Amino acid sequence: MFLEVKNLTKSFEDTSVLKGINFTLEKGQVLSLIGSSGSGKTTLLRCINALETADGGTISVDGNKIFDAALLQNKRKNKLKNKLNFGFVFQSFNLFPQYTALENITLAPILHIKDECKRNKKSRAERDRMIAEAQETAKTLLAKVGLADKMDFYPCQLSGGQQQRVSIARALALNPDVLCFDEPTSALDPEITGEVLKIIKELAAEDMTMIIVTHEMNFARDVSDKIIFMDNGVIAEEGTPEKIFSASDNERLHSFLSSFYGA
């Protein structure tokens, strides 16, 4: 397996939000997390991305353990390693308003390059070459999401769908092993939801490993290799789209799906 999550737990004060989450994902697979609000989906995604620190459990990518809650004294090191393995696309875009689309995409790579060059005492010429490459990569990514002509636009000059596509390009800029989406269409008008879902489907066709928290049931069924239904902090059901939507005997899952499709 490419991604392995073992016994992940997380509590906020006295509330247990994740109660021992276990799953695996092969390279190139797409996993959708579905479930009611408050079931733990976003917390799970944020723990995987090190935006939250899990209380217990381990996370491994390609055989390398990148997070181990038993080694909390190495928390900063764990978080750094984790962030380099995962890309995160927020539901509310989270673009920096003072930067152009191109600058939003290059900000993290350039900071990483400068830090690497300082630590390894690389020359200014080498640093400038690497920065130029990062800028070219960003332009290529903007073209990939259909925004080659918007690189000098600020977020306020872009539609919601365009901002979300910039945030997808930004997440791809560090070449993550796994790309994660937290309800990527929830802040969009229905008319422009399709343009973002189209980009995600194209990434899936390119065998990008992805984890998607979504309430778009038809989209989850179409794009996913595996679906996890979460309920009250646990994995209540897991399987292929065919199993989840057609062959499961889980009553809680049936109740959840009926709210979308009717009884």
Instruction: For CA atoms 71, 31, 16, 171, give the dihedral sign.
Output: positive
- CB under 8 Å to 107, separation ≥6 — which residues? 96, 99
Q: How confident is the model at residue 83 (pLDDT cuts 50, 70, 90)?
A: low
Q: How confident is the model at residue 260 (pLDDT cuts 50, 70, 90)?
A: confident
- Please give the sequence-ordered ranges of beta strands (E in DSSP) within 103-195, or none if there are none: 178-182
pLDDT score for 80: 44
187 vs 219, higher pLDDT: 219
pLDDT score for 245: 94
* DSSP states along 200-242: HHHHHHTT--EEEE-S-HHHHHHH-SEEEEEETTEEEEEE-HH
Q: Are 97 and 157 in contact (CB under 8 A)?
A: no
pLDDT digits over 126-164, tens only?
999 999 999 999 999 999 999 999 999 999 999 999 999
pLDDT score for 41: 97
Beta pairing class for 15-25 and 3-12: antiparallel
Per the prediction, the chain carries an average pLDDT of: 91
**pTM value?**
0.91
pLDDT score for 84: 60
Mean pLDDT of the region 88-110: 95
Out of 114-123, 187-196, 208-217, which region has the weakest mean confidence (pLDDT)? 187-196
* β partners of residue 210: 30, 179
pLDDT score for 189: 83
Is 82's pLDDT higher than 70?
no
Mean pLDDT of the region 18-29: 97
Q: Where are the alpha helices (DSSP H) in 52-122?
A: 75-85, 101-119
pLDDT digits over 3-19, tens only?
999 999 999 999 999 99
pLDDT score for 192: 84
Instruction: For CA atoms 64, 67, 73, 77, give the dihedral sign.
Output: positive
pLDDT score for 1: 87
pLDDT score for 72: 67
